[in-house]
Structure 1
């Protein structure tokens, strides 16, 4: 494992940390995979990935959370991101703190998104003292919607995402919510 990986917190199998330069190429591979990005309007370039990572690191420095770089602890392999981010696009419910994830295909179907998101919720409610966390996805993104349900989140709204307005397949989205008082530590 790289010496410069300092975990902010861990779950049973995952380590969560701020981003490092070595993550850019690995995350760019994930963002360039059409199957991983099938519920987004397009894949992302290496430059877009670098800008994303820079935004996440800046947000972490300011708020002590971001979409964290996630590593599989047993192997030390970077698997993608799981974490929290502030959403500010034009919507009645924004700004809100969103929980999200994007993992490489080899990390799918192993329960990592659910495990990691549960641990991020614990961090959000217990360490950061946030009162509410949201999650959103296009209605067609059933894998993510299923994770939201496994987290105990409740659907509160169906909406047309303004940043996806021109995409007939993706614009209809759902917003889920979990309140601190309803969160159960596992």
Structure 2
């Protein structure tokens, strides 16, 4: 099973997206608890568009928000990985690390485990120098993962893509660079 993955952590496999992921990932994106810190759950069409964008992003950059599975079962639990962000802020353009996992997988340490392995991949294989991560001000779970993986808060900002959604507009930004990563080891 491991051969289909770009890389693995102890329990998780990371790969590019396929159209076969649509149904399972659409269920994750339709869950109101999973999408609590986003303006709305996503439709199946929006999920299909997301997968298309991720496939194109991978072809262009060699990374994306990787489809993430539990190796032992092959179950798709969501994504952990990267996206190049060029919306207008003081800290972009930059590569962002993010995650979205199905509710049944919460509380198992998957986001932290996966994000650590993704950072290792980013710094050692992709030779990226710096990674950022953002979350809404009320998303303490994601902010905790950012802290656990060694990221440092660099500021608060109003997300330019969320202007139409004042409830979500205030966000935090964290970052980690290659030397911070190496010091943490």
**If the TM-score is normalised by the length of the shorter chain, which range does it land in?**
over 0.9
1:92 maps to 2:94: no
Root-mean-square deviation (CA), in Å? 1.4
The unaligned stretches of length 5 or more in structure 2 are none
C-alpha distance in structure 1 between counterparts of 2:60 and 2:179, whole Å: 25
User: Which residue pairs with 1:124 in the alignment?
Assistant: 122
- Structure 1 residues 124-176: Cα deviation after superposition (integer angstroms, max 9, x where no partner): 00000000000000110000000000011000010011111232321110110
Q: How many residue pairs get matched?
A: 184
User: Which residue pairs with 1:169 in the alignment?
Assistant: 167
- Structure 1 residues 47-104: Cα deviation after superposition (integer angstroms, max 9, x where no partner): 1111111111111111110000000011111100000101122223221100000000
Which has the larger helix fraction? 2
1:152-163 mapped onto 2 (5 Å cutoff): 152-163=150-161
Please say which of residues 162-171 and 108-117 is displaced more in the overlay.
162-171
Q: Secondary structure at 2:142's aligned position in 1?
A: helix
1:11 maps to 2:9: yes
Q: Secondary structure at 1:36's aligned position in 2?
A: coil
C-alpha distance in structure 2 between counterparts of 1:169 and 1:52, whole Å: 23
C-alpha distance in structure 1 between counterparts of 2:65 and 2:71, whole Å: 18
- Structure 1 residues 12-51: Cα deviation after superposition (integer angstroms, max 9, x where no partner): 0000000111101111111111110000001111111111
User: Which residue pairs with 1:24 in the alignment?
Assistant: 22
The unaligned stretches of length 5 or more in structure 1 are none
